[in-house]
Amino acid sequence: MALLQISEPGKSTNPHERRLAVGIDLGTTNSLIATVRSGEAIVLPDEEGRYLLPSVVRFRAEGSPQIGYPALDASINDPMNTIASSKRMIGRKTADIKSLRDQLPYNFDDESANVPRIITADGPRSAIEVSAEILTALKKRAETSLRGNLGGVVITVPAYFDDAQRQATKDAAKLAGLNVMRLLNEPTAAAVAYGLDQGSEGIYAIYDLGGGTFDVSILHLNKGVFEVLATAGDSALGGDDMDRLIAEWLLDDVDDEELSSNSQFLRQAMVSARTAKEALTENTSTIVSLKLPDGSSREIVLDRTTMDEIIAPVIDKTLIPCRRSLRDAGLDKDDIDGIVMVGGSTRVLSVKEKVERFFEKKLYTDVDPDQVVAVGAAIQADILIGNRSADEMLLLDVIPLSLGIEIMGSMVEKIIPRNATIPVTRAQEFTTYKDGQTAMSIHVVQGERELVSDCRSLARFELRGIPPMAAGSARITVSFKVDADGLLSVSAREATTGIETQVDVKPSYGLTDEEVEQMLRDSITFANDDIKARLLAEQRVEAERVILAIQSALDVDGDKFLNDDERSELVKGINKLKELTDSDNAESIKQAANDLNQLSEVFASRRMDASIRSVMAGHNINEFSE
């Protein structure tokens, strides 16, 4: 029985004043929609009482697309027009999809420049359009169930989704006619559901293994504050990979090479693999029946022990981010109070066994792992729409990778470090490199390495109209702002004139899971090499600055203040430093730059004296003292 909600006089919201808000878990395999009704977060069913909506869309030459169960039923007979696992493609560039093509048996439109499109009977379709169809179906379900128009929605995304993947998700929601109040990280949504339902406090690991993505987040829960301490994961790892390995095992048993290129049979094998995987959560063995193209059938016995061996590489791969998240949070396994299991793939018994063995802590499985993310999103949506006080809960998410800009020498200056709590705004001051410089190019990058070539380019823009002045005199403030959705905007402002420019960073593609993993791995493996490379780059930049400054002074005043021998010595010093600048010896470059600076001291002193005499001409010292 639900408890009555009692409020102070005048503080409660009248039923007719409640605004409709929902939370959506846009999943790789299945999607759900939930809302808060009478103070309780519930998942909304379809007309037949089913809570899950398969994330599958079938495009037809005639008629509207089929979504959910009808599309899933048609996937075996019409695999090339029936798109599943679109979440794996969203926010990715065409070139990035090539690494996944063995897992995505579709025909792609190779002429698509940035956004990959699958060729269907209804024309080329992108992952954004596929996701929009799924969101539209969920929207209709909510409006029918709640009998009204939605005021806003919170959509969950994997914590390891980068800026492009988050923006693509928002674009899909816009196509579906949804007002997105916030994108919420899936592990955080799960923690919201558990934290509010059970009053949990302490440090928890949220292990989220879905159909196509994996995240692990370390959260500190304390009196309604959900602080993410660290996050890690793989944006292309999940139950689909288990299904693919099982399907490959089934194909090996059939032992017919021609079937490996038969798209209809491959889809059947994937569906059968998923069915077998689900059956083995309750049974120790199952029989898989495959219908061969010649009309005959092949029955294959698969037991749980064999399946566990087949899918072990996928489960083991999830433990790598678990170790990294603990290290990033500065914690040991003993500091963890419990593990919240999220995502349908955590129903697999060997997943539970390995996770429990790794953390050596209790697993929380009280809430349906398929529904827990949608429930958490619904609670957050109810707060954001204004139906309950925002003081009840504070979410402190983090960004997964560092953000910065390119500086001279192709180096990266990190402005927002990874695992910084969002929303966040950070600013840093920079200056000009050359005399009279009137513009500055801002190159925004993402990654953990010291050099631009080892990081990912996000955006470029220019600040123009800088007053011409001596190098190092201008003051340009570059500000980074990451909003609650994890989306980035960058601005640059010159102090004297107040001129400003900014860009909302919307890259046309996202980081692949391999690139994210590699970035973090390389930041550790090549830490010493990166430090040496940065020191070398810094010395080269300093050397070039010294050469440019002295050469400019020589061109203007060299004949006035230097005799031939003195000028010759300075020119030799400049040439020596130029030669060393191309070397890889940072210490030699530094020493040569210091030597050249010492050589130029007499020249600099004479120029300064002349400048002072020029200013003093016609005046006496008493005027200046006054």
Each residue's pLDDT tens digit, 247-283: 989 888 776 666 666 777 888 888 899 999 999 998 9
Task: Write the DSSP assignment of 597-613 as a string of letters.
Answer: HHHTHHHHHHHHHHHHH
Fold type of domain 530-616: Substrate Binding Domain Of Dnak; Chain:A; Domain 2 (1.20.1270)
Residues 94-116: what's their mean pLDDT?
64
Q: Is 186 a catalytic residue?
A: yes
Q: What is the model's pLDDT at position 17?
A: 52
Please spell the DSSP secondary structure of 31-49, one letter per residue: EEEEEEETTEEEEPP-TTS
Name the band, by pLDDT with cuts 50, 70 and 90, for residue 510.
very low
Return the pLDDT at 542. 82
The sign of the torsion formed by the CA atoms of 324, 330, 335, 338 equals: negative
Candidate list 25, 328, 448, 530, residue with the active-site label: 25
SS3 per residue for 522-561: HHHHCHHHHHHHHHHHHHHHHHHHHHHHHHHHHHHHHHHH
What pLDDT was estimated at residue 624? 52
Report which of 504, 495, 624, 599 is spatially closest to residue 547, judged by C-alpha positions: 599
For residue 567, the model assigns a pLDDT of: 83
Q: Is residue 509 over pLDDT 50?
A: no
Contact between 448 and 525 (Cβ < 8 Å): no
How long a stretch of residues is the chain? Answer: 626
* Cβ neighbours of residue 39 closer than 8 Å, sequence gap 6 or more: 2, 3, 5
Mean pLDDT, rounded, for 380-396: 74
Every domain of the chain and the residues it spans: 239-310, 403-514, 530-616
pLDDT tens-digit readout, 532-553? 777 787 788 888 888 888 888 8
Distance, in Å, from the CA atom of 50 to the CA atom of 43, rounded to the nearest integer, reads 10
Active-site residue (options: 78, 208, 243, 328): 208
More confident residue, 506 or 125: 125
Inform me whether the pLDDT recorded for 393 exceeds 90: no
Domain 239-310 has CATH 3.40.50.300: no
Average pLDDT over residues 512-536: 61
* pLDDT of 229 strictly over 60: yes
**C-alpha distance across the termini of the chain, in Å:** 86
Report how far apart, in Å, the C-alpha atoms of 33 and of each of 88, 166, 317 are. Answer: 20, 19, 30
Catalytically annotated residue among 78, 87, 171, 243: 87
Span 299-330, pLDDT tens digits? 999 999 999 999 999 999 999 999 999 998 99
Residue 108 DSSP SS3: strand
Contact 370, 344 (CB under 8 A): yes
pLDDT digits (tens, 9 = 90+) for 597-606: 888 888 788 8
**Is residue 515 over pLDDT 60?**
no
3-class SS string, 120-146: CCCCCEEHHHHHHHHHHHHHHHHHHHH
Tell me if residue 87 is catalytic.
yes
pLDDT mean over 161-166: 79
Q: Hey, how many other C-beta atoms are within 10 angstroms of the C-beta on 428?
A: 15
pLDDT for the residue 396: 65
> In sequence order, what are the beta bridge partners of 216?
207, 232
pLDDT at site 236:
77
560 catalytic residue (yes or no): no
How do residues 548-574 score in pLDDT, each as one tens digit?
888 888 888 878 778 888 888 888 888
User: Which residues have C-beta within 8 Å of that of residue 213, sequence separation ≥ 6?
Assistant: 28, 87, 88, 158, 160, 186, 233, 234, 235, 236, 237, 238
What does the mean pLDDT of the chain come to? 82
What is the per-residue pLDDT for 11? Answer: 45
In tens, the pLDDT along 429-462 reads 888 888 888 888 888 887 777 888 777 777 788 8
Q: What is the mean pLDDT of residues 178-205?
A: 80
Q: Is 208 a catalytic residue?
A: yes
Measured between alpha carbons, how far is 70 from 86 in angstroms, rounded to an integer?
17
Query: Of the residues 186, 328, 370, 517, which is catalytic?
Result: 186
For the chain, what percent of residues have pLDDT higher than 70?
Answer: 84
What per-residue confidence (pLDDT) applies to 470? 82
Is residue 232 exposed (0-12), middle (13-18) or buried (19+ Cβ within 10 Å)? buried
The CATH fold of domain 403-514? Substrate Binding Domain Of DNAk; Chain A, domain 1 (2.60.34)
